Amino acid sequence: MDSMNLTTFALVRHGQTDWNAQRRIQGSTDIPLNDVGRNQARDAVAVLSAYEWDAVVCSPLSRAVETAKLIAGGLGLRVTRHVPELAERSFGHAEGLQDGPELDALRIPGGFRGAEDEDDAASRGLGALHALAEEFAGHRVLVVAHGTLIRLSLSRAIGRTLQSIDNAVLNLAHHHSIDGWELEYFNGERVTADIPG
């Protein structure tokens, strides 16, 4: 396999925020990391240091930016740039809500009233990854983004429905210009034929 056609991605969800801890829907609302999240980002460095990274990119939302800076700093790197298309899926009026009647009133098939469509979010996220694969062909790119965006993008890429993404753990995927996508690690575990769905 021609290594110039192979681009390796670490897809890392940002560290925990207070809204994550409170099980509030976050979406495109810009909520900062909390101290647990900062420690998760620092802890991720040990696993990510097993690889050499050519670029670090992230969503422009502050929780992803800070996670990326902490990880990049721990690896002796700098964040290459913020990629707007890697921002989390918008959940509209559901953002900030916890499970309950108010949230239930907004539910529709595939999400919530006023939310970005799942297919649109997947297309946006996967489009950003394809653009990065082209730009950094043959290299390794560390991407810090968001749980739903990563899950939808990876699910679309490999043609399987994946479960939720944990904070600040390794998801390792390879993009080959001819053979497409292969997922090697999901939520920190090596992928077998039976990816938990």
- Please list the active-site residues: 14, 88
C-alpha closest to that of 27 among 112, 100, 109, 102: 112
To the nearest 5 percent, what fractions of the chain are helix, strand and coil?
Answer: 40, 20, 40
What is the Rg, in whole angstroms, of the alpha carbon atoms belonging to the chain?
A: 16
Task: Give, as one character, the DSSP assignment of residue 165.
Answer: P
- The Cα–Cα gap between 130 and 116 comes to 20
